[in-house]
Amino acid sequence: MCTSLSFPERALYGRNLDLEYHFGEQVVLTPRNFPFTFHHHPALAQHYALLGMANLADGVPLYAEAANEAGLYMAGLNFPGNAHYFDAPKDGALNLAPYELFPLVLGQCATVAEARKLLEQVHLVAEPFGPGYPLAPLHWQVAGPDGVLVAEPMADGLHLYDDAWGVLTNNPPFPWQQMNLNQYRGVSPATPENRFAPARELEVFGQGMGGLGLPGDASPASRFVRAAFYKQNAVFPDERAGQIVQFFHLLDAVAMVRGGVLTPEGRWDETIYSCCLDVQGPPVYYYKTYESGCIHAVAFTEEAAAGRELVCHKPLTDAGFTEHTLG
């Protein structure tokens, strides 16, 4: 369960990561000279530097979302029951394991057009990172200055869609999510007119009736609708800090609260972290965790990007309250 938002016009991208457990997540900067190896593709000895949230598996960053220094963003979101990976490589195709998409796409591509050209050749093979590592069923949002696309691995291959909404959640597949928005044509931020019975007086009994009819549950379809609505109607201030704060407010509108969604295994599904990548200049990774409402920033540095070693930051989870004494 996750939600990803992309604002190419503002160079702001990010997501909620919703899970019932932590996965050893760390903010990781991968430098240009860190070697990426692949099952069926030549190694990348040099590439764009990457910054995002990842799990380190035997010293290799497995990213959940990241942006590269060229300003291209990518996020992987859960897609169970629909995600399909093939049992064997295909002759003449660009054969990749699902986790290899991040280093290859973000390592080599600076624009969505370049990413699309690469993804059109991809054949995803059902190969986990290694023994004991799960083969996560995913689909991906890729975004940059020239647009947003969604990549969904289906039984007949990798489907690519233009994502004019800049939103991705989980199931059902993306074309259905777009079609479903037609049911909400009448939803508006404004207080609705009385069209139910114009001849009778129906009172507006309080503020907050704008948006009446939006679904309020945590299902992927409902989160997609809410995210699309708030994204389309979002009002951003002029200053950059305020824009980043507003981005987090949009993510809050589709966040999962502990106690709201119980998994079949009896665990609470919740937004374990929210993030915003500002790629207007060198990338800055902003995040907050479920335990801490404070927004923290991890900045890209040229010194780290030019090195050979991963630079890691463990997310801060302290509540971080600031006390002020009156008088």
Annotated active-site positions, please?
Answer: 2
Rounded Cα distance between 274 and 254, Å, is: 11
